[in-house]
């Protein structure tokens, strides 16, 4: 395992994963839409990091841009499908349909675009590792989680089904399912730039950090080749599934 491609590398988990993997000695390709942020990361990380300014929802652009990767950054051994977002926290009957579409396009279509493009070369070489970033929202329903949670349920089941299709091949697949993680732009994006509302989410909580996720990935890619972690649910100690809700008519 030598070369990793990380989507969503311009902030949060993706940026921390790039830093950690480069420090561990990997060559890393960072992918995101904001080229200025990726350039800054490239200035910091040096020759073992390169980047592609790319929108993962644009299938045709992905195909052509991957072909332009420098030889030193091919073939891709590790694909980390991390780019994703939540938009809005309204109940389904008040949600903005454009937000729903963007989440589906990014969290589902973006993830399968990259996977469909890169997986055949892993199969050809009988070697590789796909790490998807799902969420606890793919398992536990919460108010306002509607389409976001459903996209992450897709990621969970797609990861499991990939394992099944890849049985007999030396290609590993893991779905990481994080809970509340601070130090990223996740809530700023969810609340459409309302930074006060975003900050309130993390107030008084000892949340997990992007470095926790990056360290987890560093551990995963260093486990022995015969060892597959199918899924990994990670929460801060300050978070727990809180059971089922009841609504009672007044008596
Ligand atoms: N933070 C949490 O509490 C939490 C918990 C569970 C799961 N997650 C998941 O973890 C992943 C990373 O989230 P984060 O917390 O690190 O959030 P973040 O700081 O907002 O990072 C999201 C990354 O995705 C990229 N991205 C978004 N849309 C894209 C597109 N169309 N094409 C390419 N890149 C795109 C963004 O880059 P550009 O804007 O530059 O394109 C950014 O680099 C997401 O899949 C999220 O659902 C987060």
Q: Specify the residue with its C-alpha closest to ligand 1, atom 42.
A: 8
Conformation bin of residue 2: beta by default, left when phi > 0, alpha when psi is -120 to 50: alpha
Lowest-confidence pick of 7-16, 17-26, 142-151, 242-251: 242-251
Report pLDDT digits (tens) over 194-246: 999 999 999 999 999 999 999 999 999 999 999 999 999 999 999 999 889 89
Percent of the chain with pLDDT over 70: 99
Q: What pLDDT score does 250 carry?
A: 83
Confidence of residue 251 (pLDDT cuts 50, 70, 90): low
pLDDT tens-place string over residues 27-37: 999 999 999 99
CB 208 within 8 Å of CB 181:
yes
What structural domains does the chain harbor?
Answer: 3-234 (3.40.50.720)
User: Using one digit for the tens of pLDDT, what is the confidence trace for 82-135?
Assistant: 999 999 999 999 999 999 999 999 999 999 999 999 999 999 999 999 999 999
pLDDT above 70 (res 42) = yes
Cβ neighbors of 45 (< 8 A, separation 6 or more) are 18, 19, 22, 28
What pTM was computed for the model? 0.98
Can you give the pLDDT at residue 242? 87
- Mean pLDDT value across the chain: 97
pLDDT of residue 191: 97
Told to judge if 129 belongs to the known catalytic residues of this protein, a careful annotator would answer no
Q: What is the DSSP string of 165-195?
A: HTTTSSEEEEEEEE--B-SSSHHHHHTTT-H
Hey, is 45 helix, strand or coil? helix
The residues lining ligand 1, judged by C-beta closer than 6 Å to any ligand atom, are 7-14, 32-34, 37, 55-57, 82-85, 106, 110, 133, 135, 178, 180-181, 184-186, 189
| pLDDT, tens digit, 9 for 90 and up, residues 127-181 | 999 999 999 999 999 999 999 999 999 999 999 999 999 999 999 999 999 999 9
User: How far is it, in rounded angstroms, from Cα 65 to Cα 180?
Assistant: 33
CA of 152 to the centre of ligand 1 (A): 13
Q: With contact defined as beta carbons under 8 Å apart, do 164 and 230 qualify?
A: no
pLDDT band at 1 (very low <50, low <70, confident <90, very high): low
Mutation to probe ligand 1, out of 7, 29, 32 (largest number of atoms < 8 A from CB): 32
């Amino acid at each position: 395992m030598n070369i990793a491609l990380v989507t969503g590398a311009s902030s949060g988990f993706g940026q921390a994963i790039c830093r950690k993997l480069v420090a561990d000695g990997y060559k890393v390709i960072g992918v995101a839409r904001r080229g200025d942020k990726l350039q800054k990361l490239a200035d910091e990380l040096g020759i073992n990091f390169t980047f592609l300014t790319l929108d993962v929802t644009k299938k045709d652009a992905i195909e052509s841009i991957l072909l332009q990767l420098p030889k030193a950054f091919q073939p891709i051994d590790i694909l980390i499908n991390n780019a994703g977002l939540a938009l809005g926290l309204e109940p389904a009957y008040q949600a903005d349909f454009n937000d729903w579409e963007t989440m589906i396009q990014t969290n589902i279509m973006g993830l399968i675009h990259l996977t469909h493009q890169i997986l055949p070369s892993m199969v050809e070489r009988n070697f590789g590792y796909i790490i998807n970033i799902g969420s606890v929202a793919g398992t536990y329903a919460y108010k306002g989680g509607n389409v976001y949670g459903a996209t992450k349920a897709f990621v969970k089941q797609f990861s499991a089904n990939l394992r099944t299709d890849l049985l007999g091949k030396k290609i590993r697949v893991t779905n990481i399912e994080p809970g509340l993680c601070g130090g990223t732009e996740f809530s700023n994006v969810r609340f459409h730039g309302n930074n006060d509302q975003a900050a309130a989410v993390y107030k008084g909580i000892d949340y997990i950090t992007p470095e926790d996720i990056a360290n987890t990935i560093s551990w995963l890619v260093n486990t022995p080749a015969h060892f597959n972690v199918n899924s990994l649910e990670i929460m801060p100690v300050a978070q727990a599934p809180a059971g089922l809700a009841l609504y009672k008519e007044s008596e």
